[in-house]
């Protein structure tokens, strides 16, 4: 509880390598679990889940991973599809980490699906109206070999196994922008010291220890009590306490 009191949830939920405790965002976890249902729909046409969705909503999507809802407005499924489709951050991650391997070509939507691992042809060629890209498209097409015996399939590129894992998507969603620090937080958590020492070091580095200076800011101590009790000269802040106090 004392960690919660001092450190905000946004910091605690960051990966350990980025100054957090690696708990992760529940919002991202929920998003990854929701997307799992879309992946299940797209990854196997002959699955029960795929049959259930098609029979309830009498629908057919133009893409292996549905992005635009066609029918059944207001249903759980349409809300799920819309929720994932409108999330640009999720879509960017999906664009970079999913691709479709061409088998017999029956399920892949020629213009809309990303089966060239280079974005959909609709985005690359049609929107650009670029003759150079058009020429590139012919090169791509000339390399495609259809195999009647093999189904088209989705591949999750972030895993060596090519299979989708919620944990893998969570990790990508939780990735934070690089911090302006050169400190390696990994070193703290690898140490062979008791967990309470690791947590104390972590809190010292992110400047969340209850120093006198901090307690004054929180209104727990009077401003007259902010100075270091060892040297009695300077304010007791983290840097002073561990590094700069001349009486240490
Ligand atoms: Zn001092």
Q: Which of 241, 210, 213, 178 is nearest to 19 (CA)?
A: 178
Question: Can you give the pLDDT at residue 35?
Answer: 92
Model pLDDT, residue 102: 87
Between the CA of 225 and the centroid of ligand 1 the distance, in Å, is: 13
Give tens-digit pLDDT for 38-62: 898 888 777 888 888 888 876 666 5
- Going by C-alpha positions, the residue among 8, 5, 30, 29 that lies closest to residue 19 is 8
Report whether 76 contacts 84 (CB < 8 A).
Answer: no
- Residue ranges of domains in the chain: 2-20+179-244, 26-174
Give me the pLDDT at residue 60, please.
Answer: 62
In whole angstroms, give the CA distance from residue 142 to residue 4.
58
Contact assessment for residue 93 and residue 169, using Cβ atoms and an 8 Å cutoff: yes
- Output the CA 184–ligand 1 centroid distance in Å: 27
Residue 46 Cα to ligand 1 middle (Å): 70
Rounded distance from Cα 203 to ligand 1 centre (Å): 19
C-beta separation of 59 from 72 below 8 A: yes
How many angstroms separate the alpha carbon of residue 238 from the centre of ligand 1? 10
Query: For the chain, which residues score pLDDT lower than 70?
Result: 1-5, 58-64, 67-74, 124-130, 176-184, 248
Q: How far is the CA of 51 from the centre of ligand 1 (A)?
A: 70
Q: What is the CA(8)–ligand 1 centre distance, in A?
A: 28
Q: Give the per-residue pLDDT at 243.
A: 83
Q: What is the pLDDT of residue 1?
A: 42
Ligand 1 center–CA 244 separation, angstroms: 7
Cα-to-centroid distance, 183 and ligand 1 (Å): 24
Q: Contact 113/67 with Cβ under 8 angstroms?
A: no
Q: Compute the distance from residue 187 Cα to the ligand 1 centre, in Å.
A: 27
The Å distance, Cα 228 to ligand 1 centre, comes to 5
Q: Ligand 1: distance of its center to the CA of 186 in Å?
A: 29
Predicted pLDDT at 88: 83
The distance from CA 3 to its chain's CA centroid, rounded to whole angstroms, is: 24
What is the 224 CA–ligand 1 centroid distance (Å)? 15
């Amino acid at each position: 509880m004392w960690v919660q009191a001092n450190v905000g949830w946004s910091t605690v939920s960051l990966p350990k390598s980025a100054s957090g405790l690696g708990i992760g965002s529940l919002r991202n976890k929920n998003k990854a679990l929701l997307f799992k249902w879309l992946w299940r729909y797209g990854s196997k046409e002959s699955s029960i889940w795929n049959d259930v969705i098609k029979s309830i909503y009498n629908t057919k999507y133009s893409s292996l991973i549905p992005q635009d809802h066609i029918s059944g407005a207001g249903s759980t499924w349409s809300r799920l599809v819309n929720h994932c489709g409108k999330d640009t951050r999720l879509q960017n991650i999906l664009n970079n980490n999913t691709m479709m391997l061409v088998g017999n070509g029956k399920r892949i939507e020629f213009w809309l699906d990303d089966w060239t691992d280079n974005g959909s042809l609709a985005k690359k060629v049609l929107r650009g109206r670029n003759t150079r890209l058009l020429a590139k498209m012919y090169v791509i097409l000339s390399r495609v070999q259809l195999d009647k015996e093999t189904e088209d399939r989705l591949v999750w590129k972030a895993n060596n196994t090519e299979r989708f894992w919620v944990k893998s998507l969570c990790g990508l969603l939780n990735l934070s922008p690089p911090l302006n620090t050169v400190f390696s937080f990994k070193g703290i958590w690898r140490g062979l010291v008791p967990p309470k020492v690791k947590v104390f070091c972590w809190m010292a580095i992110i400047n969340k220890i209850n120093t006198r200076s901090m307690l004054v800011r929180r209104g727990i101590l009077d401003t007259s009590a902010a100075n270091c009790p060892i040297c009695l000269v300077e304010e007791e802040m983290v840097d002073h306490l561990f590094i700069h106090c001349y009486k240490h």
